[in-house]
């Protein structure tokens, strides 16, 4: 599954490294990429990932704020067709 999270407060390469390092601690996350320009964290992960726990850990590590939307897609889908948007 692919999830995209919008995170405000990411402004430098240290933020990117910190957030991606937190993601690497989760066995359920296969790939993570923090894009500073778009302020989006894209993760590819197993269905059993505790997304709330991940968000709390990232928020507590710095002055980060999650924008109220999450996009989740199956890995097999192309683009954003049939993706679930959660607010």
Read off the pLDDT of residues 9-59 as tens digits, 9 standing for 90 and up: 999 999 999 999 999 999 999 999 999 999 999 999 999 999 999 999 999
Mean pLDDT within 67-80: 61
CA 81 to chain centroid, in Å, comes to 19
Domains of the chain: 2-86 (3.30.70.100)
Residue 79 has pLDDT above 70, yes or no: no
Pairwise CA distance, residues 6 & 69, whole Å:
7
Pairwise CA distance, residues 28 & 1, whole Å:
10
Greater confidence (52 vs 86) lies with 52
Burial of 18 (0-12, 13-18, 19+ CB in 10 A): middle
Pairwise CA distance, residues 85 & 23, whole Å:
21
């Amino acid at each position: 599954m692919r999830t995209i999270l919008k995170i405000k407060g990411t402004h430098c390469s240290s933020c990117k490294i910190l957030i991606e390092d937190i993601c690497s601690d989760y066995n359920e996350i296969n790939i993570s990429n923090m894009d500073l320009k778009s302020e989006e964290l894209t993760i590819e992960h197993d269905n059993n990932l505790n997304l709330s726990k991940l968000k709390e850990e990232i928020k507590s590590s710095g002055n980060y704020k999650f924008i109220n939307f999450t996009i989740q897609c199956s890995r097999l889908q192309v683009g954003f067709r049939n993706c679930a948007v959660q607010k």
